[in-house]
Amino acid sequence: MTRFTTTLSKAVAHYVRLIQFLAGVSMALIVGIMIAQVFYRYVLGSSLIWAEELCRYLLIWQTFLVLGLVYSRNGFVALEFLPAMLPPRGKWILRAIMAVPIVTFLVAMAWYGYDFASRFDRQTIPALDFIWTALTGDALGVSIKWVYFSVTVGLALMSLHVLADLAVTFRRELIDNDDRSLPDDNEVQA
């Protein structure tokens, strides 16, 4: 591997660990909040009216953050019969051709997601306002646009995954015509 692809591979490995950590933290928060909700509802006979809304927003962010990770692990449905018949160089060229409409679509959707989210500056997140008001007496006032920005962030990150995949596999598949799989996280760290 060249110095660029080694550096890029290490950066991607650190990024993947960060996304995995954030996904784990958000899932732990969702589980913790839902356990508290069940306890309050069935044991104490009360309800946390903010729990479902907050969990929904956490799940939305989690979903959009891990989209790129799923792409990089070939987790999406794909038709593999054509790439399987091609040599590594042909696979990379096909992947590069396919990346153009994919990245174009992702960037367009990220742009429109940003446009949509920016229209909700004045609308606040009721669950956070309720929690913060109970704690301090004042509403927090966090705009719901931050929930909608998850679309923009997630799709922009996924487009970077598509481009990083092309960059990391460029020399190996296009120049060297080698179809070895990418090194796993342990090999990248070495």
- Reduce the secondary structure of 48-70 to three states and give it as a string: CCCHHHHHHHHHHHHHHHHHHHH
Question: Is 117 or 178 the better-scoring residue by pLDDT?
Answer: 117
How far is the C-alpha of 136 from the C-alpha of 148, rounded, in Å?
26
Per-residue confidence (pLDDT) for residue 182, from 0 to 100 = 47
Q: Which of 36-40, 66-70, 122-126, 164-168 is least confident?
A: 164-168
Q: Which residues pair with 143 in a beta bridge?
A: 124
Q: What is the average per-residue pLDDT within 64-79?
A: 84
pLDDT of residue 5: 62
Count of C-beta atoms within a 10 Å radius of residue 21: 10
| Across 107-126, average pLDDT | 92
- Give the pLDDT confidence of 2-43 residue by residue, as tens digits: 676 678 778 878 888 999 999 999 999 999 999 999 999 999
Task: Output the pLDDT for position 29.
Answer: 96
- Give the span between the Cα atoms of 48 and 134, in whole angstroms: 12
Whether 101 has a pLDDT exceeding 90, the answer reads yes
What CA–CA distance (Å, rounded) separates 24 from 187? Answer: 23
Residue 175 has pLDDT above 80, yes or no: no
Write the CB contacts of 14 (distance below 8 Å, at least 6 apart in sequence).
none
Between these two residues, 98 and 181, which has the higher pLDDT value?
98
pTM above 0.85, yes or no: no
Polymer length in residues for the chain: 190
pLDDT tens sequence across 145-167? 999 999 999 999 999 889 888 88
In the predicted structure, residue 169 carries a pLDDT above the cut 90: no
Helices (H), the chain: 3-42, 51-72, 81-85, 88-117, 126-136, 145-169, 185-189
Q: Where are the domains of the chain?
A: 3-180
